[in-house]
Amino acid sequence: MMIRVYYIYSRTEHHQLLHHHSTSVCRADGWVASLAEHYSRRFDVINRGFSGYNTRWARQYLTQVFSPLVVEERRIELVVVMLGANDAARPDLPYMISAKQSVPVDEFEENLCAIIRFLLHGDGSGTVGSVTHRVLLLTPPPVDTIKRRENAQPGPDGTRIGDRNNERVTMYAEACQRVAARMDVPVLDIHSHFQQPRQEWSSKGTTWAEALLSDGLHLTAQGNQVMFEILRGGIARNFPELVPERWPMDLPDWKQLISSPSSPSSPSSPSSPSSSSD
């Protein structure tokens, strides 16, 4: 998870996304960029992704990510949380650095509860109050066990063992479901959704893993698009009041400006709108 921030116009309402990096490279076809475009001129979508982080480290730095200044200056309407791909790394491969990222599933579950509790109720000491009253939890996506093994660093005996496998990730996805029920927040099951068969893939002889994952872990352009579609639909179902069409655009559309009798028309006027039509 690496730190990236999207500011789409300057409104006071925000979506905040706290997640690991594996699915969130901030590229033109990335799912966070698509969400920012979806809410353009209505909400700021702020991406808080931290490369390599697990829930243990995310929990440790919550007060820095959501500092009192950040919470006070912004009315955060929704926080989307997706963690688990790094926690699910195999702990039994000490020659791989990813083993240091591994977190036992019971600790993962407790960390995730603590993170959501912090977001909804603050840090408990009064230093940071409630960050938001809406949290949407996402399960980690599946991984392609075969591809992770093919790309793995050879072990001391020369054999390749993947740093992650889908059997382990399934345990963490199921833990997310339990956390959602325990904390009474909605959850989107990305893990199961990605593995559903699709006619468009089977007709081409393509598997979900080939279509959605570039290296068995990170998303392809199509994977990012599917991720965005799941999230857009999940927000609409669970928080219909946040559908962008229900919110006014920030500042009038440029077509309204040129058709308005009161619109400033002199190019020398300092308050005249830009002549750009994009």
Task: State whether residue 200 is helix, strand or coil.
Answer: helix
pLDDT tens across the length of the chain (278 residues): 222 222 222 233 455 655 544 444 456 678 988 998 999 888 888 888 788 899 999 999 988 888 765 666 667 889 999 999 999 999 988 888 888 999 999 999 999 999 999 999 988 888 788 888 999 999 999 999 888 988 878 888 888 888 898 999 999 999 999 999 999 999 999 999 999 988 777 777 789 999 999 988 999 999 999 999 999 999 999 999 999 898 888 888 888 888 876 655 544 444 444 444 44
Would you say residue 215 lies in a domain?
yes
Would you say residue 8 lies in a domain?
no
DSSP 197: -
Domain range for 161 is 13-259
For residue 242, give the nearest of 154, 134, 143, 110 by alpha carbon: 134
Would you say residue 3 lies in a domain?
no
The CATH number given to whatever domain includes residue 192 is 3.40.50.1110
The count of structural domains within the chain is 1
Would you say residue 100 lies in a domain?
yes
Would you say residue 22 lies in a domain?
yes
Phi, psi of 135 (to 5 degrees): -130, 135
Crossing angle between the packed helical segments 166-183 and 105-121, to the nearest 10 degrees: 40
For residue 230, give the nearest of 10, 5, 38, 16 by alpha carbon: 38
List the structure tokens of 141: 């996506």
Would you say residue 267 lies in a domain?
no
CA–CA separation, 106 vs 183, rounded Å?
15
